[in-house]
Amino acid sequence: MRRLKDIRKTIELTGYSNYKSYFEDLYELAKKEFSKYSYMKFAEDLNLGASNIVFTIIKGKRKLMFKHVADVADALAFDAGERKFFASLVRLQNSNNVNERLQDYDALLDVAESRQKEEHSKDAILFFSAWHHVLVFEALELFPEGASPQDLAKSFRVPISTTDARESLELLTHMGLLEQKGNLYLKKQKNLSTGASVPGYGVVRFHLKMLELARECLGSEFTAEERNVSSVTLAISHDGALKIKETLEEFRKRIFKIASEDSNPEKVLQVNFQAFPIIENKR
C-alpha cells in the first residue's frame, strides 16, 4: 500500500471548502488501496494517535483542534502553501469572528490563485477575492461613454480608492468583460459571467463582505428612504423552509429580470438574501 502522503497527492487540497470533506475523500482513497484500512489507522497516519477522532470529525461530531494542524501537515508532507490553506480551513471551522473569517477566506483565495494553472480560473478566483470587482462592473452601466478609475472612485457611496477601481478595471478587461479606450473603460457585455467555476469559499467570502456593506448602510450617511432593511423570524417545518428557499430563488430571478430590462440605470443597488436555521428540534 502507498503511504498516505503519497495517496493524498491524487486530490487537490485547494479544491475543498472544509477539512471534513477532505478527510472523508482521503480516507476513501486509502480504503481502496487497502480494504482493511480503518479509521483508527487513518488517525494514526495523520499523527493524531490511534483513536476514533477522525471518524467523529468526518461524521460532524467534533472539530479538529488547531493545535493538531502542524501534526496533520507533517503527516501529509504539505508544502508551505498547503499548510497555510489547511490552517485557514481549520480556523474557519473554529472561529465565529467575521473579521478573522474574512482574513482566512483571503488566505484560501490567495493560495488557490497561486496554484491554479489555467489563466481563466485564476481570474475567476481573483474576481471574488475583492468585493469591489463586481460593483465596478455594474457601475459602468451608469457610464455609457466609458469611465476612468477616478470617475468610478468618486461615484461610490462606500469609500473606494482610485487604485482599487483601477485594479478592478484591469482585471475585468483581462477577463474580456471590458474594453479600454484611452483612460476610459466600457462594458463589452451587459451581464456578468466569470467563465469558470469558483471555489465555494470564494463565493462565501464575497457574501460576507456584502453583509458587512449591508451593516454599513444602516449608518447616518444612508437615509431611511434610500434603503429597505427588514427581517422576519419564523417557526416552520422542513418542507416549509424548502418552499421559502425556492421562493427566494424565484424572487432573485424576478429582480434580475427587472434590472436586465431597465434601459436607463441611475444607480447600482445591492440586494442581499439570507435564510438560515437558528434553532432546530432534533426529533
Q: Which pLDDT does position 1 carry in this prediction?
A: 59
Q: Which pLDDT does position 146 carry in this prediction?
A: 94
DSSP bridge partners of 186:
179
Q: Which pLDDT does position 121 carry in this prediction?
A: 67
Q: Which pLDDT does position 101 carry in this prediction?
A: 80
Q: Which pLDDT does position 53 carry in this prediction?
A: 93
Crossing angle between the packed helical segments 200-216 and 98-115, to the nearest 10 degrees: 140
For the chain, the structural domain boundaries read 4-94
* Whether 158 contacts 267, CB under 8 Å: no
* Whether 276 contacts 211, CB under 8 Å: no
Q: Which pLDDT does position 143 carry in this prediction?
A: 93
Q: Which pLDDT does position 173 carry in this prediction?
A: 93
- CA distance to 13, 85, 90, 110, 215, per residue, from 104 (Å): 15, 8, 9, 10, 21
Phi and psi angles of residue 147, each rounded to the nearest 5 degrees, phi first? -140, 150
pLDDT averages per 10-residue partition of the chain, 283 residues: 87 89 95 92 94 92 93 96 94 80 82 74 75 89 93 89 93 90 90 61 78 79 82 90 93 90 87 85 69
